[in-house]
Amino acid sequence: MLYAKVEGSGKPLLILHGFFGMSDNWKSIVTQLAAQGLEVHALDLRNHGRSFHSEEFSYDAMVQDVIHYVDAQSWENYVVIGHSMGGKVAMLLAANDARVQQLIVADIGPKYYAPHHQTILKGLNAIDFNTKPNRGEVDEVLSQHITEFGVRQFLLKNLYWQTPDTLAFRFNLKVLTEKVEEVGKALPSDKSFLGPTLFLYGKKSNYVLPEDMLEIRKQFPSAQFVGLEGAGHWLHAEKPQEFLQEVLRFIHQF
């Protein structure tokens, strides 16, 4: 069963993180949504966070994990939010689970995305935890490959003490490296969701382009598109209040 952070009571809402992410990244958003009459479940997807590690890593497998989790909650219906990789999981989930009432997708579309995590993977795989590096030394190695401080901070959140003197990453780096191609895969074009759908995107991001919107509507005919000014791909972290405002506006519409 997937690990989850749960807060609040009311209408059930699932949050699905992106590649290298985990439920912890959503902590403040979870708390604020829970204060609005929602029972928020932020999940760690397989090979991420505190959830189980597996050699199998695909969108189909991740969707089945989430359905298994939802089955255990006995919900009649629920809302799902997914960011980036989690957005693709959310889209496929909505197409496969009739209990999804509303779908919110953050800065991703169902199309194919060319691999673009190579430098991050190179940096992560350059770390030798056998030499017992501390957090600063891990950052030092990462900085030789990843110049953006914010990206390194995001990755360093995954560090934990595996033994009293040895750090490790929570995510399954071996499998994520081997299966990185899975993350960019297009979702099957015959899968669709007819219910209320919100695509939130960062206006400074290039993940959802104006020309993608017509294609997206073929699979998600009820899609609304809202661009957040001044936000890039990490829109929920860069513009949390605007993100929350749009999410709540959409949820309360129906």
Residue range 1-27: mean pLDDT, rounded? 98
pLDDT given at position 5: 98
Please tell me whether residue 208 adopts helix, strand or coil conformation: coil
The answer to whether the CB of 235 falls within 8 A of the CB of 204 is no
Q: What are phi and psi of 82, to 5 degrees?
A: -135, 135
Q: How far apart are CA 203 and CA 225, in angstroms?
A: 11
Residues 6+ apart with CB under 8 A from 174: none
- Is this structure's pTM higher than 0.85? yes
Can you tell me the mean pLDDT for 171-183?
97
Backbone angles phi, psi at 115, to 5 degrees: -55, 130
How far separated are the first and last CA of the chain, in Å rounded?
Answer: 30
- Tens digit of each residue's pLDDT (9 = 90 or more) over 66-107: 999 999 999 999 999 999 999 999 999 999 999 999 999 999
**Is residue 254 very low, low, confident or very high in pLDDT (cuts 50, 70, 90)?**
confident
- Under the banding of pLDDT at 50, 70 and 90, the label for residue 159 is very high
Q: Is the pLDDT of residue 28 over 90?
A: yes
Q: What is the mean pLDDT of residues 239-251?
A: 98
User: Which pLDDT band holds residue 116 (cuts at 50, 70, 90)?
Assistant: confident
Return d(Cα 195, Cα 100) in angstroms, integer: 8
pLDDT in tens, 29-43: 999 999 999 999 999
Q: Does the pLDDT of residue 47 top 90, yes or no?
A: yes
Give residue-wise pLDDT tens across range 202-224.
Answer: 999 999 999 999 999 999 999 99
Domains and CATH numbers, the chain: 4-112+185-253 (3.40.50.1820), 118-178 (no CATH)
Residue 27: per-residue pLDDT: 97
- pLDDT for residue 60: 98
Kindly list the catalytic residues: 84, 233
Per-residue pLDDT tens over the stretch 51-68: 999 999 999 999 999 999
Sheet holding 100-106, edge to edge: 4-7, 38-43, 11-16, 78-83, 100-106, 197-202, 223-228
